[in-house]
Structure 1
Amino acid sequence: MLVIPVKEGESIERALKKYKKKFERTGVMRELRDRQKYTKPSMERREQKLKAIYKQQLRQEEE
């Protein structure tokens, strides 16, 4: 459970913004999305490898 301390006179919009930021940092939504579909470990490694190759190519093009 997330607890957001709200100071007296602080607007609700600001408190909501703090809540959303804190909630996003917990990674709950990311974990839920990951659990909705199963990917084999070999496919996860392959995707990570392809991303790394892509990033490396971008860096080389920059230089």
Structure 2
Amino acid sequence: MLKIEVNSGENIDRALKRYKNKFNRTGIKRDLQSRRQYTKPSELKRTQLQKAEYIQSLKDAEQF
């Protein structure tokens, strides 16, 4: 559970913004979205490989 201390005199909007940032950094939302639907391990490997190839191509293009 995430807890945000609201300081005296602090705007509630600012505290809400700090909560949202902390929530995004923890990765809870990403985990919940990934658990909605089962992905086969082979599909997971394939997407990771495609991502790695894409990043490598960007790095190669940057070197030239």
Report the TM-score when normalising by structure 1: 0.89
Mapped partners of 1:13, 1:6: distance in 2: 10
Q: What residue ranges of structure 2 are gaps of 5+ in the alignment?
A: none
Number of aligned residue pairs: give it.
63
Q: Deviations over 1:1-47 (max 9, x none)?
A: 22111111110111001111111122221111101111111110111
2:52 match: 52
Match of 1:31 in 2: 31
Percent of paired sites with the same residue: 54
- Secondary structure of the equivalent of 2:38? coil
Using structure 2 for the length normalisation, give the TM-score. Answer: 0.88
Q: For residues 8 and 26 of structure 1, what CA distance do their matches in structure 2 show? A: 26
**2:7 & 2:31 partners in 1: Cα distance?**
31
